[in-house]
Amino acid sequence: MRIDERVLDRILPTVRKPGRYTGGEYNSVAKDWDTITVKVGLAFPDVYDLGMSNLGLAILYDILNQEKDVLAERLYAPWPDMEAAMRQAGLPLYSLETHRPLCDFDLIGISLPYEQLYTNALNLLDLGGMPVLSQERDEGYPLVMAGGNAALNPEPMADFIDFFVIGEGEQVILEIVEAFREVRDAEREAQLRRMASIPGIYVPRFYAPSYFEDGTLAKIEPLVDEADSHVVKRITPVMPPPVTKFIVPFVDVVFNRASLEIQRGCTRGCRFCQAGMIFRPVRERSMEEIIQTVDAIVRQTGYEEIGLLSLSSTDYTKIGPLVKALSEKYQDRSLSLSLPSSRVESVTVDLVDMLAHGRKTGFTFAPEAATDRMRDVINKSISTQELLEVADMVYSRNWRLIKLYFMIGQPTETDQDVREIGQLARQVLEVGRRHHGRKAQVRVGVSTFVPKPHTPFQWAALDDLDTIRRKQAILKEELRQAKGIIYNWNEPAESLLEASLGRGDRRVGQAILRAWQKGCKFDAWHEHFRPDLWRQAFQEAGLDQAWYANRPRLADEVFPWDHIDAGVQKRWLLMDWYAAQRGETKIDCREHCFNCGILTAFKGLRALTPPNAWECPPIRNPRWKELAEQGKVVGLTPVVRKVMAEAKSQA
């Protein structure tokens, strides 16, 4: 049943930005609810303005709505003023397309890109009229799935989510829909067993964790046949067709532009970077396809800006010719291009000139550390000299603002390393002054390093709160009276929460539940974040935030995400962690394969893709291609193992 529009009409004039809650945007798809058999609600657990910029959900929305007998609609977290009004009026969380309550859908997909959205995810379920605990929802409720970067450690949210989609969703989403058709009328247990049999799907209730006396994890064991001991992430072997019919929001949103993924994954191997590890292998979209797509996007959306997305846009092989071709083609149509991430070593004069449209917002670099030694530790080996030369070039091409992103708290960091961040910022400003005098600006964003699962730094500790504050004070002192430098930093308590959730185990779910019950939500929003309530929530759950966040891990510790396989092997990550401490660097893996594990995990898939489709070296042994073509190898490690075992036993 649709929600009561009259009630909504009463509420909307009283809330901020009511256009967030009405739907009907150009390119949104409202299908006939009564004739479609599988209905998927795609939910982003933050406000519309942020959720609309999420490319992952836009891709799934596009794929699902292209299916004749499937519909996908969007749901976002209402801002607190709207939530209060909805709760008071008894309005449930509803979808934007046809204004249906959350609990009327068959499947709900929640995007979990980062940990600060966990309480909002619970709040969404509750506002949608559903129990937040998975065990309390029977087959009368929709199946709740979640995916995204944070799902690579699903354990903290295991109590709330029915199943997790590990890795890329493009292919598996339709497998899930088909599986749902088979088990629509089955009991919840049978529904979930069917889901567990899909490669890349993790159903937490079919796995039991056990712990050692010291509180660390002993093992996580599968309980049913359908549950694989290792859930390997899904990937699309070649870049999937890009979205062109982006929904065009009426209200201003955070990234009010279309996004086009020009490349997926990154070959650089920065040791702190989760995306760089979990999005392997690196796949590029062809230049021809990008140019055609930009054209289609402009025609179908009318957007005036397109972001060319990649973890490291300037590493795209033909970035120069691409940007040149695009800026020539659109110079009179006021289309601006943005490259969200540029590497110091791959920026050229031509590129800087062609991105001139963005001059007003400044040129961004993320050296992450200020000393050559630290940059070797984190494996982001650019030299200070190089950075200053590039800064000189950028300022000389009429840009006045350079933004620099750094991280404090990375392993082996000394106070001197911190101090030099300030000195480097001053040096860059000096360069700018030569070109623009007092109008030159440097904006320095200093975040706190948070160790992430599936990275070489997953064994590292988060600095304790006092250390973070001391380092931030050093920087404040260092940048005092530096006119022309704007310094931003992260609230230490926010990093503590991110770290204690990010590497949490299943017990952390209790803390999340309690925090939400105490009123925590919008934890990613400074004005709503309540560290005091979180502290209490952890305490009441019998847990210590510091134990999760600030404790260095031993080499042989079992991690809560060890059974979730992102392709890169734990053994390889450990070797890289040791290399970091010795200050050893690894070059771009396009130059030399370091055998991180991706090719082992996806051998079959690699055998079936053309050599230039991935940056990883091709598989030369024809036997793999044969097996893959027979459909025996989908490229997923456990499956590979089974096939190999079968082959052996037959021999």
Residue 303 in the binding site for other proteins (CB under 8 A) = yes
Q: If residue 311 lies in a helix (H) or strand (E), which one and from where to where?
A: none
CB 94 within 8 A of CB 12: no
Residue 79 in the binding site for other proteins (CB under 8 A) = no
Residue 12 in the binding site for other proteins (CB under 8 A) = yes
CB 346 within 8 A of CB 369: no
Structure tokens that stand for 119 in this block = 């309480």
Q: Which of 215, 302, 552, 611 binds other proteins (CB under 8 A)?
A: 302
Q: Which of 10, 480, 526, 623 binds other proteins (CB under 8 A)?
A: 10
- Nearer Cβ to other proteins (293/301): 301
Shortest reach from residue 67's CB to other proteins, in Å: 22
**CA atoms of 130 and 123, how far apart (whole Å):** 10
Structure tokens that stand for 600 in this block = 């082992």
Q: Which of 138, 215, 250, 581 binds other proteins (CB under 8 A)?
A: 250
Residue 439 in the binding site for other proteins (CB under 8 A) = no
**CA atoms of 586 and 580, how far apart (whole Å):** 10
- Nearer Cβ to other proteins (324/359): 359
Q: Which of 55, 183, 248, 254 binds other proteins (CB under 8 A)?
A: 248
Give the single-character DSSP code of 93. Answer: P
Residue 25 in the binding site for other proteins (CB under 8 A) = yes
- Nearer Cβ to other proteins (294/580): 294
Structure tokens that stand for 551 in this block = 């404790």
Shortest reach from residue 334's CB to other proteins, in Å: 5
Structure tokens that stand for 381 in this block = 């080996």
Q: If residue 456 lies in a helix (H) or strand (E), which one and from where to where?
A: none
Q: Which of these segments, 17-25, 38-46, 62-70, 161-169, binds other proteins (CB under 8 A)?
A: 17-25
**CA atoms of 495 and 159, how far apart (whole Å):** 23
CB 446 within 8 A of CB 389: no
Shortest reach from residue 127's CB to other proteins, in Å: 20
Q: Which of 98, 236, 300, 381 binds other proteins (CB under 8 A)?
A: 300
Residue 184 in the binding site for other proteins (CB under 8 A) = no
List the interface residues with other proteins, window 347-386 (CB under 8 A). Answer: 360
- How many other CB atoms are there within 10 angstroms of residue 336's CB atom? 19
Residue 430 in the binding site for other proteins (CB under 8 A) = no
Structure tokens that stand for 649 in this block = 């036993």
Would you call 606 exposed, middle or buried from its count of C-beta atoms within 10 A (0-12, 13-18, 19+)?
buried
Size of the site for other proteins (CB under 8 A): 26
Q: Which of 53, 301, 545, 609 binds other proteins (CB under 8 A)?
A: 301
Q: Which of these segments, 22-30, 90-98, 534-542, 579-587, binds other proteins (CB under 8 A)?
A: 22-30
Residue 427 in the binding site for other proteins (CB under 8 A) = no
Shortest reach from residue 612's CB to other proteins, in Å: 35
- How many other CB atoms are there within 10 angstroms of residue 409's CB atom? 26
Would you call 447 exposed, middle or buried from its count of C-beta atoms within 10 A (0-12, 13-18, 19+)?
middle
Shortest reach from residue 312's CB to other proteins, in Å: 29
Residue 251 in the binding site for other proteins (CB under 8 A) = yes
Q: Which of these segments, 3-11, 171-179, 457-465, 499-507, binds other proteins (CB under 8 A)?
A: 3-11
- 486 strand-pairing partners: 443
Structure tokens that stand for 254 in this block = 């955070």
Residue 19 in the binding site for other proteins (CB under 8 A) = yes
Shortest reach from residue 621's CB to other proteins, in Å: 50
Residue 18 in the binding site for other proteins (CB under 8 A) = yes
- Nearer Cβ to other proteins (49/505): 49
**CA atoms of 155 and 157, how far apart (whole Å):** 5
- 231 strand-pairing partners: 564
Structure tokens that stand for 173 in this block = 């989403």
Residue 562 in the binding site for other proteins (CB under 8 A) = no
Residue identified by tokens 């490349």 is 263
Backbone angles phi, psi at 261, to 5 degrees: -75, 115
**CA atoms of 525 and 70, how far apart (whole Å):** 34
Residue 299 in the binding site for other proteins (CB under 8 A) = yes
Residue 29 in the binding site for other proteins (CB under 8 A) = no
Give the single-character DSSP code of 3. Answer: -
Shortest reach from residue 125's CB to other proteins, in Å: 26
Cα-to-chain-centroid distance, residue 428: 31
For other proteins, the binding residues (CB under 8 A) are: 6, 9-10, 12-13, 18-19, 21-22, 24-26, 248, 250-252, 298-304, 333-334, 360
